[in-house]
């Protein structure tokens, strides 16, 4: 496994104007990452920023192993689903430009007003991901479906969607992006969720969460059962990360394991420590 850092780990620093795309790449090099994960979320002007990022990668010798997009096919308006598809197609083109082998994708989530149900939304998700998979295959890129939200939050949900998409398009371009922390939000221990999809993994998000104490004033993530969680430095939460790595290794996974720090501690402190701990899990497993 190769260890990288997702730029989302520094989202608070970016929003505060303390970091941009180029300085993130140099920061990742400074703290010892082997590669980076870039996201459409951080682009302001792709045509201007892409060559700057490519130059920073060349200068640092780092690899962009994954380009991530945030799409939502759970929309009853075909025009909105087309926008979701176009977002993935954009991500695939960016992956090709950066030499990244994988694009992180989402399925989508049900609307708050419950105006349509799971089965209807799932059909749209499968249709959209199948079409995206065809284009990705033409470009020599894999897709990684993240366990994110209610429609694709648990391991068995992710697996089911991937299997349906593969049957629909006739190839295995779509795989899984097991996010070790997100499983907790749908009541599934991280190592159990990883075990559900390890053999399908095309990328991994290495994240740690812990239950948020009563009265916690930092950012919290709400679980389906009402439980609340906070992000932590890798190795300081409750996810059994050692077992996650062991399961991935047993499944033969050798791709990118990108740490995604979502704690409240300044990322310039939390991410380097998370990286040290990530290497400990990966190299010591």
Tens of pLDDT, residue by residue over 27-83, are 999 999 999 999 999 999 999 999 999 999 999 999 999 999 999 999 999 999 999
pLDDT in tens, 167-208: 999 999 999 999 999 999 999 999 999 999 999 999 999 999
Distance CA 125, CA 174 (A): 12
Supply angle C-alpha 150, 240, 280, rounded to 5.
Answer: 125
What is each CA distance from 257 to 18, 42, 59, in whole angstroms? Answer: 25, 20, 22
> Which candidate, 126, 76, 77, 67, places its Cα nearest to that of 102?
67
CA 2 vs. chain centroid, Å, equals 15
**What are the φ and ψ backbone dihedral angles of 67, each rounded to 5 degrees?**
-115, 125
Please check whether the domain covering 2-284 is classified as CATH 3.40.50.2020: no
- Would residue 231 be called left, alpha or beta, if left means φ above 0 and alpha means ψ between -120 and 50 degrees? beta
Tokens for 61? 């010798």
Instruction: Report pTM.
Output: 0.96
């Amino acid at each position: 496994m190769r260890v990288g850092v997702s730029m989302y780990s520094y989202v608070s620093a970016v929003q505060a104007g303390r970091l941009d795309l180029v300085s993130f790449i140099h920061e990742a090099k400074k703290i010892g990452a082997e590669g980076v994960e870039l996201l459409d979320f951080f682009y302001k002007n792709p045509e201007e920023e892409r060559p700057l990022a490519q130059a920073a990668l060349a200068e640092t010798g780092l690899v962009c192993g994954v380009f991530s997009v945030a799409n939502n096919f759970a929309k009853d308006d075909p025009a909105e689903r087309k926008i979701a598809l176009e977002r993935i197609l954009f991500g695939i083109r960016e992956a090709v430009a950066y030499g990244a082998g994988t694009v992180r994708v989402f399925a989508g989530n049900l609307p708050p007003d419950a105006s349509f149900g799971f089965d209807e939304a799932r059909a749209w998700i499968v249709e959209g991901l199948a079409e995206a998979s065809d284009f990705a295959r033409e470009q020599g890129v894999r897709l990684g479906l993240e366990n994110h939200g209610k429609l694709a939050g648990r391991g068995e949900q992710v697996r089911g969607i991937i299997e349906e998409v593969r049957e629909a398009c006739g190839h295995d371009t779509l795989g899984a992006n097991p996010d070790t922390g997100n499983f907790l939000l749908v009541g599934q221990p991280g190592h159990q969720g990883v075990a559900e999809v390890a053999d399908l993994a095309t990328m991994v998000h290495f994240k740690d969460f812990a239950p948020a104490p009563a009265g916690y004033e930092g950012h919290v993530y709400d679980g389906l059962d009402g439980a609340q969680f906070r992000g932590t430095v890798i190795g300081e939460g409750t996810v059994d990360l050692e077992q996650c790595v062991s399961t991935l290794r047993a499944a033969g996974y050798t791709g990118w394991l990108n740490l995604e720090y979502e704690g409240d501690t300044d990322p310039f402190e939390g991410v380097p420590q998370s990286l040290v701990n990530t290497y400990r899990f990966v190299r010591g497993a």
